[in-house]
Structure 1
Amino acid sequence: MHRPPLAAVLVTAAALLTGCASGDDDWSRLRPSPSAIGALGAGFIGPDTSPAPESTVTPSPGSWSEVRPAAGTRVVLLGAGSDRPTKTLVKAVKAWADEADVDLRTETASDETDLLPAVIRAVDLHPDLVISAGNDLIDPLTTVSPSHLAQDFLVVGAELAEPTENVTAVDWSGASYRGEGLGMSSTYDPASFTEARCAAAVRAGTAAVLTGHTGIVVWLDD
C-alpha cells in the first residue's frame, strides 16, 4: 500500500491542529470586538446622528441593508416560549446568522423558573451580542442587563421600560411588550410577527448595534 511521505503527513497534521486551535468553538479566547462591515443608509437615524439614550428612531425601509457583522461574530440567541411570534423570531435570527456567517449559540429557557438562569447563562458565554426572542424574557433582562453594561443586548419584538445603554430594541405596531403590568406603545398583535417583519427587525436591530447606536428603540413603520 502506498504511504504518503512523512513530511506531508506532518504538514497535514499541523494544519489540522492549527485549524482546531483557531476555530470559533473556543469562546474563552480574548479577541478584538468585531466591527460592522458596510454603513447605514442616510435614512436610518435621520438628522440626529447621535440619538439620545432611550429615544426612538424610525429608519427608512432598507436603510440597514448594507450593514452586516464580521464573519465569526459571536452571538447568543436567547429564547423563551413556544408561541408562534417567538418561533418566527427565532427562525429569523437563525436565518440571519447563517447568511452572515455568524458563530451562533442558543440558550433556551425550559420553563418559568429557568428564565433568569437562561439570561445569566447567555451572559456568561461572553458573546459579542445577545439577541432575545420572547416576551417572557423582558423582566429577567430588566434585572440582569444593568449589571452587565459591557454586554450588548438586542431585544426583538419587545422592549425594556427603562433600558440601559447596552440594550437596544426593535418594535413595530403590534409588538412593544415592556414587562409585567406595564403598558405598551401599541396593542399586542401576534399576527404582526410575520416572517418578513421579523427578518427586517433582526437585520435593522443588529445593524444599529454593530454601528454603535445602542440603548435606543428602532421602530419599524410600514
Structure 2
Amino acid sequence: MRAPLRAVAILAAAAALVTGCGSGDDWSRPHPSPVAVGALGPGFVDPSAAPTPEGTVTPRPGSWDGVHPSKNYRVVLLTAGDDAPTKALVAAVEQWAKAEHVDLRTVAAADAHDLIPSITRAIEMGPDLVVSAGNQLVDPLALVTASHLSQRFLVVGAELAEPTHNVTAVDWSGASYRGEGLGMSSTYDPGSFTAERCAAAVRAGVAAVLHDLTGIVIWLDQI
C-alpha cells in the first residue's frame, strides 16, 4: 500500500502548487488592470490645474493616505547598491507591499554591468509597476524607459533629468540625484532617508501612479 499512498501524496503536492499559481502567483495568467482604491485627499494637486509633464508637485503631507492598490497589484522592486539610503528605500517598499497585500517580486542588479539587463528583466516580468531604488539605476533607466512607454516606473529617492510620461519620481532636498553627468546635489544628505520619509515616498508615488498622475516629480520636503 505504500506505493499508492506515495503517489497520492505526490499528486496532492502537485495540485497544491497549481492552486498556488492560480491564486495570483503566476504572472503569465490574464490580469485585470489595476485601479486605485480610495481617493487622493485635498492638497495632493491643484484641482484647477493638472500637473505639467516633467513638472513638480508638492502634495500636502498625508493627502495620499487614503489610496490603496487594487487586489493582486503586481510590482517589481528594481534595486542596485547596498548603501544605507538604498536599503532604507528597499525596506519601505517591502513593508508597503506586505501591508497592502501587493504581489511583489525583486530584481537586484549584481554589478554595474547588470544595471540595464536588470531593468530588462523587470520589464519582461510584465508588472503593473516597476519601483526603482538606488542612484545607480538613474542613468540606465533614462536610456531604457523611453523605449517602453507602456510600462510604468516609479523612482523613489531620485529622479530622471528628462522623464517620459511613464516615469514618476518622488524626491526631496536630501535626495534629488538626477544622473546624466549632473553629479550629486549639493543638498544630498543620506540621513534624510528616514523610515518615515521613505514610507511616504512609496505611498505618495504609488497613489499618483494609480490616479494617472505620471511623468512628474513629487516633492516631499515637508515630511
CA contact (8 A) 1:174 1:190 kept: yes
Q: 1:59 to 1:16 in 2, by over 3 A?
A: same
The residue aligned with 2:216 is 216
TM-score norm. by structure 2 comes to 0.89
Task: Give matches, 1:82-161, under 5 Å.
Answer: 82-161=82-161
Query: Secondary structure, in 3 states, of the residue corresponding to 2:114?
Result: helix
> Equivalent residue for 2:74?
74
CA distance in 1, matches of 2:217, 2:191: 21
TM-score (norm 1): 0.89
Change (3 A) 1:21 1:91: closer
Structure 2: distance between partners of 1:183 and 1:46 = 32
Q: Secondary structure at the match of 2:75?
A: strand
> Helix, strand or coil for the counterpart of 1:137?
helix
CA shift digits 1:2-22 (9 cap, x unpaired): xxxxxxxxxx99x96873452
Hey, what does 1:197 align to over in structure 2? 197
CA distance in structure 1 between the aligned counterparts of 2:156 and 2:137, rounded to whole angstroms: 11
Q: Which runs of 5+ in 1 are unaligned?
A: 1-11
Q: After the TM superposition, list the runs of 4 or more consecutive aligned residues in structure 1 that deviate by more than 6 angstroms.
A: none
2:176 aligned partner: 176
* Cα separation, partners in 2 of 1:17 and 1:215, compared to 1, 3 Å: same
Amino acid at match of 1:82: D
Match of 1:3 in 2: none
Q: Which residue of 2 aligns with 1:41?
A: 41
- The 8 Å contact of residues 73 and 103 in structure 1, kept in 2 or not, is answered as yes
The one-letter code of the counterpart of 1:130 is V
- For the 8 Å contact 1:176–1:186, the answer to whether it is kept is no
Q: Distance in 1 between matches of 2:16 and 2:80?
A: 38
Q: Distance in 2 between matches of 1:194 and 1:62?
A: 16
For the structure 1 residues 186 and 217, does the alpha-carbon distance in structure 2 shift closer, same or farther, using more than 3 Å as the test? farther
Give the whole-Å Cα distance in 1 for the aligned partners of 2:59 and 2:168.
14
Distance, in Å, in 2 between the alignment partners of 1:59 and 1:214 is 14
Paired residue for 1:19? 19
CA distance in 2, matches of 1:120, 1:18: 27
Separation of aligned partners in 1, 2:183 and 2:145: 21
For 1:144 and 1:60, how far apart are their aligned partners in 2? 32
Deviates more, 1:174-183 or 1:64-73: 174-183
**CA distance 1:89–1:21, shift in 2 (3 Å):** closer
CA distance in 1, matches of 2:82, 2:190: 13
**Tell me, what secondary structure is at the counterpart of 1:169?**
strand
Check the 8 A contact 2:142/2:160 in 1, yes or no.
yes
Q: 1: distance between equivalents of 2:18 and 2:79?
A: 34
